Amino acid sequence: METVILPRLTRRSSKSLSKRVVLALMLLAFGGASLTSDFFGSTSAQKRTGGVSTKPKAKPSPAPTGVDGLGAAPPIPKLKPTPERSEDVNPGEVISVETTEVLLPVTVRDSQGRLVTNLTRNDFRVFEDSSEQPLRDISLRQVPVDAVLMVDASSSVANNLDDFRRAAQGFAAKLASDDRISLIKFDDRVELLQDWTQSRFQLQRALNRIEPGMFTRFNDALMLAARDQFAKGKSRRAVIVLSDGIDSGRGATTLEAALQALLKAQVTTYIVSNTEISRATKRAELDTLLGGSDTTVKFNQLRIEDLREGLRVLDQSEKRLEQIAAATGGRLYKPQTFDALDSIYAEVADELSHQYAIYYTPLNRTHDGGFRRVRVEMTNRSYEATTRVGYFAPKS
């Protein structure tokens, strides 16, 4: 069947066209759409050949309707079978089922707080749920580290973002060539400004994209870093976050859920808290107001109460931040000024470069998904070992 092209029809005379339209409508009433199609097709052919052929023609097949013209329906697609997994556990959440070997990043300091870097396997004792574990191997800084830099860009830090940028660049410069780094900014939103990279140039460009915001989704930011950034891989994992830790309550995550996610992802968390800086500012203003006359104190009573509440919240936040750092094997830093960020980030980089990686196969082979509490002791009692409080066993 020949396709009828509308522009060709419009070139016909109006009288001839009217007759054909009337006749087409009559044929449509008696013979259906297929006859109409045949009619237009035959008239087009007649015009080209100069008349109707007198030879008998085979009855043409009915023209397909709009749906029939598409041909036979395609076969129903078959979904690829999904590999069976146990409880949909992310690879980064627990130690692998195939290799139940546990990797513990351990930092050792002497009584003066200095890093100890000349120890052997005999200097360590590892306990899991109070049972001492046989150590398979120990190494000093032979496992690459993946480090997430997180910055609170809300009003409490917004005026000092340049100090953070400078400290972050110094931190990256001290990492080894096989270490990776990523950057997360959070305020009323949580944004991944730079995914994993070993390029200091890419990090620099991402740091320049940090813009100040309002509020603080601290808990959501920790959850994102733990669950999304550390879903795969077997490297040492660290988060270094600059914040006062005061969540504005606008997110969907509790601090308890964020901490559990950090433990499941086996992330060491270093927190650089500006609580001391904020506390000093609030106390200075409070002392000034309280030092005024009775009339002045009464007039500023609302502001005085607000400052006192702010100091109380800072105290509570510091306690929570201390718990997060201790549980994950990290540290809490409380600088007096933002000028100290350079030395703090350099100290964290130095610690990551001198961590011991302790490997052992747990005596408890049960795959029940339960939490295994871990403790590391030193044969030399003057040394102090720091690591996370435990890990989640695989679940079969």
Q: What is the 3-state secondary structure (H, E, C) of 286-345?
A: HHHHHCCCHHHHHHCHHHHHHHHHHHHHHHHHHHHHHHHHHHHCCCEECCCCHHHHHHHH
Q: SS3 for 16?
A: helix
Pair 325, 262: CB distance under 8 Å: no
Distance between CA atoms of 116 and 382, rounded to whole angstroms? Answer: 11
Nearest to 240 by CA among 101, 350, 85: 350
pLDDT at 53: 42
CA distances from 329 to 168, 172, 215, 324 (A): 21, 21, 28, 9
Report CA 13 to chain centroid distance, whole Å.
69
Domain boundaries of the chain, sorted by first residue = 1-45, 93-141+355-396, 144-353
**Neighbouring-strand partners of residue 147:** 181, 238
Looking at residue 248, what is its pLDDT?
Answer: 93
May I ask the CATH class of domain 144-353? Answer: alpha beta
Q: Tell me what pLDDT residue 141 has.
A: 65
Sign of CA dihedral 276, 253, 188, 182: positive
Q: Residue 55 CB: number of other CB atoms within 10 A?
A: 5
Q: What is d(CA 237, CA 60) in angstroms, rounded to the nearest whole number?
A: 74
pLDDT tens, N- to C-terminus, the chain (396 residues): 444 343 333 333 444 444 454 454 454 444 444 433 443 344 444 444 444 344 444 444 444 444 344 344 444 333 333 343 333 434 333 333 344 789 999 999 999 999 999 999 999 999 999 999 999 877 776 789 999 999 999 987 888 999 999 999 999 999 999 999 999 999 999 999 999 999 999 999 999 999 999 899 999 999 999 999 998 777 899 999 999 999 999 999 999 999 999 999 999 999 999 999 999 999 999 999 999 999 999 999 999 999 999 999 999 999 999 999 999 999 999 999 999 999 999 999 999 999 999 999 999 989 888 999 999 999 999 999 999 999 998 887
Instruction: Enter the tokens of residue 219.
Output: 């808990």
Beta-ladder partners of 150: 184, 241
Which of 349, 258, 278 is CA-nearest to residue 318? Answer: 278
User: 3-class SS at 150?
Assistant: strand
pLDDT of residue 302: 97
CB 215 within 8 A of CB 188: yes
**What is the rounded CA–CA span in Å between residue 383 and residue 396?**
38
Q: What is the pLDDT of residue 7?
A: 39
Give the burial string for 262-292 (b: 16+ CB within 10 Å, else e).
Answer: bbbbbbbbbbbbbbbbbbeebeebbeebeee
Decide if 288 contacts 267 (C-beta within 8 A): no
Dist. CA 197–CA 137, nearest whole Å: 29
Question: If DSSP codes are grouped into helix, strand and coil, which group holds residue 187?
Answer: coil
Return the CATH number of 93-141+355-396, one of 2.60.40, 1.20.950, 3.30.1050, 1.10.8: 2.60.40
Half-sphere exposure of 309 (CA within 13 A, CB side): 6
State how far the Cα of 190 lies from the Cα of 344, in Å rounded to an integer. 24
Q: Which of 312, 322, 190 is nearest to 259 (CA)?
A: 322
Measure CA of the first residue to CA of the last residue in the chain; give whole Å: 64
Could you tell me which of 367, 387, 378, 340 has the C-alpha nearest to residue 86?
A: 367
Tokens linked to 179:
């270490």
Q: What is the DSSP letter of 93?
A: T
